[in-house]
Structure 1
């Protein structure tokens, strides 16, 4: 029931999203649309395979197809939007879909085994949500720290420029502004 996702991979994806602030290009929009269409087609094919099954295995099959579709669409959406908020929301939605799948898997059990299964599913959901929010906060903190460092370095560069006068000082200030993006 535990859905393993490498935290380093998630961190790398989220960090790249923060670092690359690009507007949605027509190519990105086309890729997003294509990913959504592919997810829908894959869902229909997986769902059709579920129709020959009966009982709880059919419900599990259907939920697996839904979870796969949600994952594909949410990942494509996060890549298309390319924001930290979108990546975090995507992870939260995927965790919720996985929780729904886990609950359906638990339906086949009875008694204490079912209770344990449901509690494990809830714990997995809470852990995934907490990880998504913690990663978001960590990335925001790193971004703030990087901005603070650049501002401090910029102030040092301006202070160094005070040793000059006239056109040389103007050139120094101009170079500092371009170097530190001010």
Structure 2
């Protein structure tokens, strides 16, 4: 086998190969720092909050550059629910939401409408004389809204039907009726 190797390409490949272990080490340091900050933050919160029941989702993180620690218990301790049990929500998504929302974020909004407006997921309806003149979503970008829209699009495109993760019997019955499966 004969090949023609350019010296400049070999040099670039060598430089990239030397940088890869350095970046891996930097990512491990970032993961350990995030975990230590999470433990410190939860120790401050858990002194004032109630206990919760942790139900693991059973998801395995199969990515090469995955988070080095288990995010699930931190999210459960922070919000009291396990978002990882929802299909198409990964550890990275939960980490982003933890960073953006923090603890007890629902107290910052008086109604759910204000919360949805802050996400930028509800339209800005302009009404005059009882008629809706326009109902566009404003162009400002909220990271939480982007995360939730991406997750909703992934869930819609996935092969996993959404009623598989519903846990309440009444909601399951509603889902069965909606799809025409009367039980």
Question: Greater share of helix residues, 1 or 2?
Answer: 1
Question: Greater share of strand residues, 1 or 2?
Answer: 2
Same structural fold, with TM-score higher than 0.5 when normalized by the shorter chain: no
Query: Which protein is bigger by CA-based radius of gyration?
Result: 1
Structure with more contact order per residue of length (Cα contacts < 8 Å, sep ≥ 6): 1
